Structure 1
């Protein structure tokens, strides 16, 4: 949902959260299995992304501030750009309020997604897609991570409007 959640400033949190939540099941399983978020693996990238969604929904600005690189940008399907500061501000509004979490959960239920991760060197791209359309025709969003100082950090997110999604 981070997915089509990152469309407008008001929807920044929902989009970021929704896309982030799209991989919730896989990442929840990964967390339960004790996935190390600092590992240079696909499972770690998905775990960090799930942590990202949880941090936004819970208002954990400190974790988000450390994970998002200073240059982080999220580009919505309409071309609107949201910088790191907007993501942090949205997360602050979620602290102690589960309204956003309910929106994200509803979006995820209505828009099931699959995900894939590609890692090359210190860069990982996590892609969320409509399982009915597949990873070549139904991409909803992608997050680019960079591995620095022993941690995965988000650098860039791009969202799209998938027909039928």
Structure 2
């Protein structure tokens, strides 16, 4: 139930009742976020991608404290069928991942099978991070978009929307 284009949609992946938002993350963002070379508090595209990578890792590892502070109270993730999942459900799902590598293996397999790229649009204190199919491109292959707001010196997720692009 991660929030990504891959923010996997568990309803599609493992049946109704399990929702798995969706999560595609580009490799360069994963490396940068993981090795700490990007300051997540910066008002840059790289910082937004690093926060998003941290988000994926927090969901996979069950880091609910980090998710609670990063996801705004109003956060929701809307899947490709129009069904909204609130922050509380995402945090609860992440808690179930603590101590298990099952979700991590599913995410890694999905990412390997669905090459994605990302783009960021920054405007003031708002950022839109878009994940798209590497072959179809950003105009025809959008998998999902996340909207972030910069508050209190950090990026916070407000909203995610997932599409019906093949592989989501």
Normalised by the size of structure 1, how large is the TM-score? 0.91
CA distance in 2: counterparts of 1:7 and 1:104, whole angstroms: 11
Deviation at 1:28, TM superposition (A): 2.7
Q: Residue 14 of structure 2 aligns with which residue?
A: none
Q: Residue 36 of structure 1 aligns with which residue?
A: 39
CA distance in 2: counterparts of 1:6 and 1:52, whole angstroms: 16
Deviation at 1:3, TM superposition (A): 1.3
CA distance in 1: counterparts of 2:30 and 2:135, whole angstroms: 22
CA distance in 1: counterparts of 2:142 and 2:76, whole angstroms: 18
The total of aligned residue pairs comes to 159
Structure 1: runs of 5+ lacking an equivalent: none
1:14-49 Cα shifts (integer Å, max 9, x gaps): x43x33xx22x1113323361100000000000000
Q: Give runs of aligned pairs for residues 42-81 of structure 1, distance below 5 A.
A: 42-81=45-84
* TM-aligned CA distance change 1:75 to 1:164, over 3 Å: closer
Q: Match of 2:138, SS?
A: coil
- Alignment match of 1:113 (pick from 116, 133, 137): 116
Which stretches of structure 1, 4 residues or more, deviate above 3 A after TM superposition?
6-9
Normalised by the size of structure 2, how large is the TM-score? 0.89
Deviation at 1:132, TM superposition (A): 0.7
The reply on whether 1:10 has 2:18 as its aligned counterpart is yes
CA distance in 2: counterparts of 1:154 and 1:36, whole angstroms: 17
> RMSD value over aligned CA atoms?
1.6
CA distance in 1: counterparts of 2:138 and 2:101, whole angstroms: 31
Structure 2: runs of 5+ lacking an equivalent: 12-16
Q: Residue 144 of structure 1 aligns with which residue?
A: 147
CA distance in 2: counterparts of 1:55 and 1:79, whole angstroms: 25
> Contact 1:7–1:80 at 8 Å: present in 2 too?
no
